[in-house]
Amino acid sequence: MKSSVTVFSSSSALTQRLGAAYAQSITAHTRRRAAIIFLQGDLGSGKTTFVKGFLKAFGIVSRGASPTFVLMKHYPVRRRGKGVTHIYHYDAYRLSSARDLDVLGFSDAMRDRRAVILIEWPEKISSRTIHPTGRIRFAYGALPDERLLSFS
């Protein structure tokens, strides 16, 4: 059974810093395929804010918009530390199955061991063939800017 760690964030700035810190744990040298990170949580729970910080750690400055309408964004990595050369950010909210991802180049991205794939709303494409390297669950805290992030 995998262990889980829950972290409290009191602001979007801290959520971005948590994304950047998580990015530092990613390495490409020990994998046979892309690192796949599931990002789960309600609308507005901090997933895209976290991704913005994650991208920044790799030298990618993004306005942080979720790829809800374009479904996927590809980012060539500027800081090639730890062997990561590409980051793919998928938003599965509008998809109905894992097969829908193939139209978006998911199979090719998954075979790239130097890539990181971030998937928002993975529960929308429930699949037994996609095994995440990590899973982060986002939840609202008691106050408007508070979030709970559970890493497993």
Domain of residue 97, CATH code:
3.40.50.300
Spatial distance between the Cα atoms of 31 and 26, rounded to a whole number of angstroms: 10
Phi, psi of 121 (to 5 degrees): 60, 45
pLDDT in tens, 26-48: 876 667 899 999 999 999 999 99
Residue 147: strand pairing partners = 9, 140
Q: Give Cβ neighbours of residue 115 (< 8 Å, ≥ 6 apart).
A: 28, 34, 35, 84, 85, 86, 87, 88, 109
Cα separation of 140 and 47, whole Å?
Answer: 11
The residues with which 85 forms a beta bridge, in sequence order, are none
For residue 78, how many C-alpha atoms fall within 13 Å in the half-sphere facing its CB?
A: 9
Q: Which domain holds residue 130?
A: 5-151
d(CA 133, CA 25): 12
The helix, strand and coil proportions of the chain, stated in percent and rounded to the nearest 5, come to 25, 25, 45
Residues in the chain, pLDDT under 70: 1-2, 28-30, 63-69, 80-81, 127-128
Instruction: Report how many domains make up the chain.
Output: 1
pLDDT value, residue 79: 74
Report the 10 Å Cβ neighbour count for 116: 28
* Cα within 13 Å of Cα(145), Cβ side: 8
